[in-house]
Structure 1
Amino acid sequence: MAGYSGHTAGMGMDALVFDFDGLLMDTETTSLLAWQDLWRWHGLELDVAGFFARHGGDVTAERYAALAAAVGPAYDQDASHARRQAVRTELYAALELSAGIGPWLDDAEALGIRLAVASSSPREWIDGHLDRIGQRDRFELLACGDEVRAAKPAPDVYLLALSRLGVPAERALAFEDTVHGVAAAQAAGLRCVAIPHPNADPALFTTADVLLTSAAEISLESVIARAERRQ
């Protein structure tokens, strides 16, 4: 690919490509908490088992529709949306990088490994969160859901990230927190490290090249070495 230099900084990976929601920042848990609060505000309890979609697309409309059906004729969409937005804003204001991710980014920079994000979420969402915590400049580029035709598990955002990096898939390593994210990365030809978000079942991540419980449990060099052994 154009722009690929073959520089490895002594390692076999030239780029690390991170999912955003649930991986770089645990927006999955904060989203769940905001929806749980909204259902309880209506005197109901959210079915957590069916909350997380098995794809990377936006399911906000479907979630509101489910709530409206549960509440019945008294449901007020505007009031419900205002409530969720207020709670969500408060929760997100305290959100930082997931445990262990900051040191990984430091180590990648020291090793000369390039950093990118591949997410089904829109650019404005990712930029806003990373800018707020002062981390946006650490990533050379973003590949976002509003730039491609299909969300994960389709490989589109990963293919876009690789194209922008100018790096072949075998020289990049993906990091994901969902099964459909792992599928997307591997469909694009990348090996993938899975760190399931707190509400995901680790037993479902059978195809991941490396499975971790947290980025804090292992050094970046060690996780790259483990992934490289899965050739």
Structure 2
Amino acid sequence: MTIDALIFDFDGLLMDTETTLLESWRHEWRQHGLELTEQGFFADHGGDVNEQRYAALAAAVGAGYDRAASHARRTAYRLTLNQKLEPAPGIRQWFAEAAELGLRLAVASSSHENHVRGLLERAGLAADIDVLACGNEVAAHKPDPAVYLLALARLGTERAVAFEDTPHGVAAAQAAGLPCVAIPNPYVPRSRFPAADLILPSAAAARLSEVLSGLPGRTTPRP
């Protein structure tokens, strides 16, 4: 398969925002003398589930819980964590190699565009991205393929490879007809990715050209 583009998920794949999300919620639970466990925290689909998380915290705190103050405190704390984030290991090198190979880059994320664009700009990655497709622009979230289909339409090609960190992300990419490389985030066991075309521990594990040549059908950049 000859390809024109690479499409990346954002949260947990390009930057470890999954950890800052979890830590912001743990921080907020501790303000009430409570501990939040990781079990069941991450949803098996894309999109915002914070309202359910606030409801769970409210139930745990009981009477007197101030949702507005809780939200302001948590989001401010997460912002301080996100300001320290760097791209995941190997991502800068992959982006540089993609430019050498003449491949266009896209991001297909279930998160809101403001979140994605802001962190890409802060990390110095935004200039490398040709296309953004985000959750606020589609009616359904991963594992629905809508955001991938939007990215492909904006790229003007169907010849692309996707990169994901969750099983529902892999399902969305493959439902859009794309081969998908999985780089599981720290909160998802590798055993949950049987459908992925290739699984890597990180983007630093191999050169991009080696990854593409290792996919079924020997995926190669267009000459």
TM-score, scaled relative to structure 2: 0.95
Structure 2 residue 99 is the aligned partner of structure 1 residue 109? yes
Q: 3-state DSSP class of the match of 1:167?
A: coil
Residues 105 and 128, structure 2, Cα contact 8 Å, conserved in 1: yes
Matches within 5 A, 1:59-70: 59-70=49-60
Is the partner of 1:126 in helix, strand or coil?
A: helix
Task: Tell me the residue number matched to 1:50.
Answer: 40
Instruction: Please name the residue that 2:205 is paired with.
Output: 217
* 1:121 equivalent in structure 2: 111
SS in 2 for 1:189: coil
In structure 2, runs of 5+ residues without a counterpart are: none
Letter in 2 for 1:20: F
Q: Partners of 2:216 and 2:155 in 1: how far apart?
A: 20
Identify the residue that residue 125 of structure 2 maps to in structure 1: 135
**Alignment of structure 1 residues 109-188 onto 2, 5 Å:** 109-168=99-158, 171-188=159-176
Q: How high is the sequence identity, in percent, across the aligned residues?
A: 59
Q: Distance in 1 between matches of 2:14 and 2:31?
A: 30
Which amino acid is the alignment partner of residue 176 of structure 1? E
Provide the aligned C-alpha RMSD in A: 1.3
Measure how far apart 1:83 and its partner are: 1.8
CA deviations 1:133-171 (Å, max 9, x no partner) are 221110001111111110000000111111111112xx2
- Could you tell me whether the CA contact under 8 Å between 1:13 and 1:224 is conserved in 2? no
- Is the CA contact 2:166–2:182 (under 8 Å) kept in the aligned structure 1? yes
> Which residue of structure 2 lines up, in the alignment, with residue 8 of structure 1?
none
CA contact (8 A) 1:115 1:140 kept: yes
CA drift at 1:78: 2.2
* Secondary structure of 2:106's aligned partner: strand
Which residue of the other structure, out of 15, 40, 50, is the alignment partner of 1:25? 15
Cα deviation code 1:98-119 (max 9, x no counterpart): 1111000000001101100111
Deviation at 1:229, TM superposition (A): 3.5
Structure 1: which 4+ aligned runs deviate by more than 6 Å? none
Quote the Cα distance in structure 1 between the aligned partners of 2:3 and 2:216.
Answer: 8
Distance in 2 between the 1:185 and 1:157 partners?
A: 9
Letter in 2 for 1:100: G
Partner of 1:7: none
8 Å contact kept, 1:34–1:84: yes
